[in-house]
Amino acid sequence: MKRYFSFLLLFPSLLLAQQPVKVDFKVANATLFLNFEKQSISGNVVYTFDVKSAIDTIRIDAIDMHFSNVKINKRTVDFKNSGTELQLFKGYKKGKNTISFDYQATPKQTLYFVGAGEGKQIWTQGQGKNTSHWLPSFDDENEKVIFNTTVTFATDFEVLSNGVLAQKTATDSLTTWNYKMAHPMSSYLVMMAIGQFEKQTLSTRSGTPIELYLQPEDVSKFESTYRYSTQLFDFFENEIGVAYPWEVYRQIPVKDFLYAGMENTTATIFTQDFVVDSIGFNDRSYLNVNAHELAHQWFGDMVTAKSGTHHWLQEGFATYYALLAEESVFGSDYFNWQLYEMAERLIAASKNDLVPLLNPKASSLTFYQKGAWALHYLRENVGHENFQKAVKSYLQKYQFKNVETDDFLAEINKVSDFDTNKFKKDWLESAVFQTQDVLTILNRSPFIRAYFEVSELRTKPFAEKEVTYSNLLKGNAFYPLKEEVIYQLQSVSYQEKERVLKLAMRTGDFKVRQAIAKTMDSIPSSFKSDYLSLLDDDSYITREIVLNKYWSEFPEERFMTLEKSRDWVGLNDKNLRVLWLTLALATKDFEQDKKATYYDELLDYATSKYESNLRQNAIMKLLFLDKNDQNTLKYLVNALVSHKWQFVKFARENIRGLLKSNIHRKFFEDMLEQLPEREKSQLNRLLIEKI
């Protein structure tokens, strides 16, 4: 009985795995309508498909959808809606078929409606197996389909999807956008993004257009946000040796995106946090994410892993090729420094992370960074030219298909006698990080050797290394060497290190100067002017650190520092403006007549009108000012129903901490009945938890 029950549990997944063998879905034509107020989607979908051999039930994944007018080969057919699938039993024949249906859904995930008014946006995030929440499709990545989408929405908004914009038809109030794809892709890569955007188009060396989008208020940030985009694209086509596999490439930042970016076919969606001006570029550059998601257009979108077991073929490749692209921009020292930092993280994680790379349950760190290191080890051992030949052959052989790890290793075997069996065992099937092999490779870099030498100075008396420190700071060494000097100075008294510290300040390198800002426990009077000069650095993060520290250390100069920083805004979370409002409110006698205005502005940033990173920043500062402020607590509770899990986690952790106080518990209990149902439910869960 026990064995029979286990077999039944596995049976549905076995059926799903068999379907692509017996049925091949070819083309999808989806005509879609979105209702922002109801946060719903409806439409008509037509699939063409081939039945290759007899099959009892054809399944299309569809989560919590309503279906009508279901027809196969233009004839109405019976169907079953299981709540997770549209199931079809008859009406199809061996050979070519079509199915059409109307559907409606109000997705709880994957399709997100954010903002309000002219600032509202709709966007998707289908990574994994989630597109079936908004579009009847296929959770199995092995079912590749040519997806064409036709979307109708309000005329004053931009609608973006996969592929080439084939037609656009406008009326006074509505516009219909028709997008066409030329090649098949897995369903998780289907996307939509709707909002008010401005567009710029770049031209690549091969002629592929890169369409770049920003919100209208961000048009001055096109260059700094998308810096090096054509250089990255041209580098990939040359390095990979295979032309970009699609007709167009788009990049769209959206509000409150769940992750850094997502490599939908022909169209990357990424977080608004990377929309920066020229100063913000130094703090939060989009360049690495830009390169990573672009690399996926080859590794993941064109050639897709058959299952999660081989996920490293997507994330490891995208991570590694992004590093190679950055090397083309910033040089080999930067490249080797990134590899070193990856290695440090992997060595630390390997003490507890015992899941190998060839396992669908491996961590993101393993898939991305160990995967990248595995490829670097392979490339170093087979030779760059041979590696390039193998990758090119692999991509050409399996274009628009699905692959396993052995498919890639077979191409390595064709160009080299390198022992791929041992490589697979050591790097892919073992949870052990090959530290000694990594160190051997890292030590080939003169810069890394120099860094190791500087690191070894940590235990030596300051007097023995002062000259070395000074020479390093005067030279042209890559910044991590100089940073390491600053970190080693942290435990040295100011009297001893003053000369070296001031020498570091004169390097003009904002990263070295930022290290000083981070490591100064207190600011001696003789260093005040030097430290204050950091407020003029081209880094919003440095300015935030220094403004906060200087305000704390020198109460008599608070008015001066607030006046100097009055108009600063900072990054997407308004880090400088939020800090300024906080300090202005906390500064005794500073503009008393404007305190209420400053409080209202800070409180407003905690509301749902804004993105979660700004809201979180504002809530943290408001709690710092007064953790008994019930206005703040109300917005903290509202964060529990955000679609962004990171923000929800922040709210839960803070509420749990506050509930340890009987006063705060009563605050939350008293507001419970006045809350909307979803907020009430989430807060009640926390109230009844055992402390």
| DSSP label of 13 | H
Strand partners, 31: 44, 150
Secondary structure of residue 472 in the 3-state scheme: helix
Q: How confident is the model at residue 691 (pLDDT cuts 50, 70, 90)?
A: low
What fold is seen in the domain 197-297? Neutral Protease; domain 2 (1.10.390)
Domain with CATH 2.60.40.1730 in the chain: 1-108+119-190
Contacts of 151 (CB under 8 A, 6+ apart): 32, 33, 34, 159, 161, 176, 177, 179, 192, 194
**What's the confidence (pLDDT) of residue 2?**
36
Q: For residue 322, give Cα distances in angstroms to 338, 343, 381.
A: 11, 16, 20
Residue 72 burial class via C-beta count within 10 angstroms: exposed 0-12, middle 13-18, buried 19 and up: buried
Alpha helices in 506-644 (DSSP H): 510-519, 528-533, 540-553, 558-564, 575-586, 595-604, 612-625, 630-638
Residue 120 burial class via C-beta count within 10 angstroms: exposed 0-12, middle 13-18, buried 19 and up: middle
Q: How confident is the model at residue 540 (pLDDT cuts 50, 70, 90)?
A: very high
Contacts of 367 (CB under 8 A, 6+ apart): 311, 312, 315, 316, 357
Angle in degrees, 0-180, between the axes of helices 371-382 and 435-442, rounded to the nearest 10: 60
pLDDT in tens, 146-179: 999 999 999 999 999 999 999 999 988 999 999 9
**What's the confidence (pLDDT) of residue 408?**
98
**What's the confidence (pLDDT) of residue 9?**
39
Q: Quick one: average pLDDT of 463-489?
A: 96
pLDDT of residue 205 exceeding 50: yes
Secondary structure of residue 236 in the 3-state scheme: helix
Does the predicted TM-score (pTM) go above 0.75?
A: yes
Q: Quick one: average pLDDT of 94-118?
A: 96
**What's the confidence (pLDDT) of residue 16?**
52
CATH 2.60.40.1730 correct for 1-108+119-190 = yes
pLDDT of residue 14 exceeding 50: no
pLDDT in tens, 343-401: 999 999 999 999 999 999 999 999 999 999 999 999 999 999 999 999 999 999 999 99
Residue 639 to residue 549: CA distance in whole angstroms? 29
Q: Quick one: average pLDDT of 552-572?
A: 97
DSSP letters along 160-222, please? EESSEEEEEEE-SSEEEEEEE-SS-EEGGG--EEEE--EEEEEE-TT--EEEEEE-GGGGGGH
Q: How confident is the model at residue 20 (pLDDT cuts 50, 70, 90)?
A: confident
**What's the confidence (pLDDT) of residue 311?**
97
**What's the confidence (pLDDT) of residue 7?**
36
Kindly state the tokens that stand for 271: 């977080």
Q: Quick one: average pLDDT of 407-414?
A: 98
Q: Quick one: average pLDDT of 522-549?
A: 96
**What's the confidence (pLDDT) of residue 10?**
41
- What percent of the chain has a predicted confidence (pLDDT) above 70? 97
Domain with CATH 1.10.390.10 in the chain: 197-297, 304-444
Other Cβ atoms closer than 10 A to 17: 12
Kindly state the tokens that stand for 104: 């409606």
pLDDT in tens, 511-526: 999 999 999 989 999 9
Residue 440 to residue 339: CA distance in whole angstroms? 13
What CATH number does the domain located at 304-444 have? 1.10.390.10
Residue 689 to residue 675: CA distance in whole angstroms? 19
**What's the confidence (pLDDT) of residue 559?**
98
Mean pLDDT of the chain: 95
Separation of CA 403 from chain center: 24
pLDDT of residue 328 exceeding 80: yes
**What's the confidence (pLDDT) of residue 13?**
47
Question: For the chain, how many residues are written?
Answer: 691
**What's the confidence (pLDDT) of residue 17?**
58
